Amino acid sequence: MSPRLMGIVRSSLALIVAALVLIASAAPGRAVELSETERQWVAEHPTVTVGVVADNEPYSFFRNGSMMGWTLDVLDRIEVESGLTFVPRMGTWPEIYGNFRAGRLEVVADISLTEARLPFIAFTDPYHQRRTVIFQNVDHPLAPPIDLEALAQKRIGVIKDIYYGGALRKAGIEPVEYDTYRDLMAALAFGWVDAVIAAEMTGNFFARENGFSNVEAVGPVPIAGVSLEDFRLGVLKAEAEHVGGEAGNASQRAAEGVAAEAARDRDREMLHEILAKAVAALPTEELAAITERWLSYRSGRVFSAGPLRLLPEEQQFVANAPPLKVGFISDYEPLSFLRDGRGQGFAVDLMHEISASTGLAMIPVYDSGANILQAFRDGDIDIMSNMSRTAEREDYTLFTREYHRIPNAVFVRSGFGPYRGLESLEGHSVGIAEEIYYADALKARVADVRTYATQEEILQALARGEVDAAILALSNGSAIIRRLGLINIDIGGEFLMPGVEREDLRFGVSPRYPYARSIIDRAMSAMSAARWNELETRWLGPTVAGMERQRPLLTSEERSYLDGKGVLKVCVDPLTPPYTSVDTDGDFTGVASEVMERLARQGGFSWQVVPVPIWGGGLKKAEDYECDVLPFVTDSAAADDRWTFTLPYLVLPMAVASSLNEPIVSTMNDLAGKRVGIAPGESPLRVLQERYPNVNLVEVGSEAEALTGVRQGELDAALGTLPSLGYLLASKRLYDVKVAGRIFEDWRASIATRADEPMLAAIFAKLVAGLDEQDVQTMLSRQMLVRIDQRVDYSRLLLLGGVALVTLVLVVYWNRKLRRLNAALERANQKLQDVSITDALTGLYNRRHFDARAADEFALCQRNGWLFSVAMIDVDHFKSVNDARGHLFGDQCLRHIARLAREIFGEDGDILGRYGGEEFIIFTLGGASEDFFDRLELLRRRVEGEPFSTGEETWRLTISLGGYAAIPAPEAQLSDFVREADARLYEAKARGRNRVVGETRAEKGADATAEGRGEMEGAE
């Protein structure tokens, strides 16, 4: 998602909150005070049916077998306030509204008050104001002013049959209609329309869900009655059936009786009174939290209910694992890229977050996509970022959960003509990246496909005319085009191809480290929605700072808060140059000073410096001074909830300093048993203590004090940031101390704000997300400039040269030693991996691992609409084998069947496991059900036709097989498919064994009609 889009989302959230505050001012939020009569009514009528629209993401929709969305969360909160239990009924709006008018639903949710509805519907106060806004493509923005006259000259997309369609046509706008919001936002992202008019939260949801990072909201629709829509609960009024018509005829009234009708009317009045009180009592801050959650929702993302907790086995892995090499594509911006020799991007920051929260040490490695993938295959890289899941890659990769999804786009040179799908590429040359996951499928369809090592080379080849079209990720291609100024390239459209999914980005983990995969998943699940938003705001599009030219960065509510707050008290440690320094005259200098000046200009606030020796007494001292802002801290410095931390704005490498005669240090473990000085505020002390308990970390007041301790022999080494240690060694002329090595840790500078003022935290999170990291690095370089005596001491120069030579020898020695240790550890980890996931007898997957893999693949098929096929296998009369020949012979028979099964079910997408005893289970993804059942029959024939023989004894074996294949419906469960296959297996055994009984369902869902049901058998 682009920062512009996220900025609008944040602004929208603030406006929504402001609207709710205004609503609440008329009826302030408070605990519901029901009368005794109302409480009695709730006790007698505990459940209430409520109509909810089923296809209104993210407000209300059906996914993964559950009703979910913003509306369902709000209804849950109203339940708490009222004591009622809602029974949601989902359907299209005409269905819901029709059933409500007919009296078959007691309440309707998310309904707007209109004059036409007032006579027969009793409304609560509004609990939400939904804005209808204009969305534009950031690469082709609308020229201001955006008024009706300008819009009438543009192609404006809307949802088909939307209620404001008539108002648009009356205003002279003839809209282009689309059936779904996904198609609507795609049309804008790929340039098929000039703008889109849609509900703000819904449009943002679909833009984010589908990775349309070049889409942003720009303002309200300039038509009265269209820009704002209120959401309320509605209850039919007494005598409403007279208006509704369907249930209001005289004969029905007579049949029901006057008393019954009067009782029903009283129930409706009572229900409305209770709901009105409950809605009025809804806490504004909780509504805002629900809104923020659904603004951040993405179907592929899972949030945990609590803090990060690692299993004991995972904790042990973190403690013992070597630094893991993480591969990043060097030109895949904004996800990962190199700029001025430094790695940056969304995936880079995400991995830093994971490393900081879990303790896993990570070493970034940058190269082209093809080289990174090959190094990962060869085992030279442990984790690969931005990796799409494919069946072929499953053989050598453990995939984490998806963390981002982006569409692939077809880029064309100006003059190419309209792009209308793959047929437009026939007869043209197409450029793609080497080793891209859809390469084989595309080459099978398009004759002239050319591969390039980097993303830039692809687009440069297109710009020069070497190829006619290029296929890249939408956000990546757009970013490169903007950066290189390739003005002769346009977006033709979305790359859609049967069997090729949109790019799901994950971390791919080497099977040598199964715990690394689970740890990364846990860390991503434990990240807060706000943290995800900050990362997306920073990287997925142009920088937020660029928004300042078009619209205020802060909302009116945030500016009002800052005006009321007055001068912010900014507390800094006076003795941590080049980051923070306060001299005797009170002048504040250092990187943090320049950062605060930049943020103050953008945010329009005033601030004053308070020198506080924070790191002498910990962050508690800052709290004692009632500080508002700490501009230079590590987010690992506080283990409590007294401070809220922004994303890091500066990442600094850690280094070790020691005396000249000490050996080089390559890892923290080289310092085991040594006294290492560390300043808590200038190093991630808590993280290092947890990761390296065998190192004696001695807390000191500053890095300068640590270096003094090394010189005097009180400490063996000093730990600090590389820029700071270099600065101190040069400025203080400490010639008898050297930088002894770089360790695989980073210090990450953040801004902390007091946790009891969440608005302040939100403001600084937004401001920091808009910082350009390169600008901050420039600030650091400027602060590092110091005057050094230029006189040359040749004796010292010779001494340093000798030390450098010794250092070089030690580097070679330790690197070789480290490689040998890593190789031994990798072999041990591979053995551990094999033992943990395989059945010791047959070598197939064990049931535990099979169930885990099956659950992941089932969800993949469910999400993508692929066929999922599963079969249960049982060895016929196996008890007689054990009784006649013994269990050892029986075990050999099972190995024989496992070998035959592996030979037949060894393709990509096939997973084979031992389910228990003499039972086996197979599942496969995609393909045709006929092929699956043909292979089951082939396995049956192979087992029957190849008796097991030990050389001395021969035993004829047969198997019975039950199979089931279907495309999983959203509500389907893996257990349903296994149950169906088991039922077919039981049927095969009941019919005489040694046969295959299978069933294929033609449509999604358990209620679909059977497409085919077959039986293949042999002579028993």
Task: Indicate which residues carry an active-site annotation.
Answer: 918
How many Å apart are CA 580 and CA 565, to the nearest integer?
Answer: 24
Nearest to 544 by CA among 405, 647, 652: 647
Cβ-proximal residues to 107 (8 Å cutoff; 6+ apart), any chain: 48, 49, 50, 51, 86, 100, 233, 234, 235, 271, 275
Nearest 5°: CA angle at 984, between 885 and 922? 70
Instruction: Give the three-state DSSP class for 641.
Output: coil
Q: Packing angle between helix 346-358 and helix 529-539, nearest 10 degrees?
A: 150
Instruction: Give the three-state DSSP class for 59.
Output: coil
Q: Under a CB-based contact definition with an 8 Å cutoff, are residues 539 and 647 in contact?
A: no
Ramachandran category for residue 645: left, alpha or beta (phi over 0 → left; psi -120 to 50 → alpha): beta
Instruction: Copy the structure tokens of residue 906.
Output: 């060894």
How many Å apart are CA 109 and CA 123, to the nearest integer?
Answer: 10
Is the sign of the CA dihedral 16, 21, 24, 29 positive or negative? positive
How many Å apart are CA 201 and CA 166, to the nearest integer?
Answer: 22
Question: Which backbone phi and psi does 334 adopt, to 5 degrees?
Answer: -95, 15
Q: Under a CB-based contact definition with an 8 Å cutoff, are residues 760 and 753 in contact?
A: yes
Helical H segments across 489-590, by residue range? 514-526, 529-539, 556-565
Alpha-carbon 258 to chain mean position: 58
Which residue's entry shows tokens 């240790």?
Answer: 821
Instruction: Copy the structure tokens of residue 736.
Output: 């008898």
Q: Is 341 exposed, middle or buried (0-12, 13-18, 19+ CB in 10 A)?
A: exposed
Q: Packing angle between helix 284-295 and helix 3-26, nearest 10 degrees?
A: 160
How many Å apart are CA 602 and CA 418, to the nearest integer?
Answer: 42
Alpha-carbon 349 to chain mean position: 13
Question: Which backbone phi and psi does 1019 adopt, to 5 degrees?
Answer: -75, 125
> Cis omega (within 30 of 0) on the bond before 28?
no
Number of Cβ atoms within 10 Å of the Cβ of 719: 31
Amino acid at position 761, single letter: A
Q: Torsion angle, CA of 47/50/56/62, rounded to 10 degrees?
A: 40
H-run or E-run covering 960: strand 959-966
Q: Packing angle between helix 758-769 and helix 529-539, nearest 10 degrees?
A: 30
Nearest to 714 by CA among 698, 732, 734, 730: 698
Instruction: Copy the structure tokens of residue 965.
Output: 């294949």
Helical H segments across 367-464, by residue range? 369-378, 439-445, 455-464
Instruction: Give the three-state DSSP class for 1006.
Output: coil
Report the first-to-last Cα separation within the chain, whole angstroms: 62
